[in-house]
Amino acid sequence: MHLILAVLTIAAGGAVITGRVWARTVGVILASIGTLVAFSWLPFYPLWAILFIGEGIAVIWALTVHGRELAR
């Protein structure tokens, strides 16, 4: 499962660089899933979970706010 998600994430990342709208959507969905999963790690690895949640929020913000700049 991790390998499939990693390949999908890499493919979406490459497509984001070319300015594809569907790739931004896939990136936001995958980052949202990763951020939600990080909440389950909070009791066991609080520092890493908080860092991962922050990274997910930053990715979601970047794709939604600055995604159109790559399309130009």
> Of residues 36 and 69, which shows the higher confidence score?
36
pLDDT of residue 43: 94
Angle in degrees, CA 43, 48, 50, rounded to 5: 75
User: CB under 8 Å to 57, separation ≥6 — which residues?
Assistant: 35
Q: How far is CA 31 from CA 56, 58, 72, in A?
A: 5, 9, 23
pLDDT of residue 70: 62
> Of residues 16 and 58, which shows the higher confidence score?
58
- 38 C-beta neighbours (distance < 10 Å), count: 19
Q: What is the pLDDT of residues 18-59, one digit of tens each?
A: 888 899 999 999 999 999 999 999 999 999 999 999 999 999
CB burial of residue 30 (10 Å; 0-12, 13-18, 19+) = buried
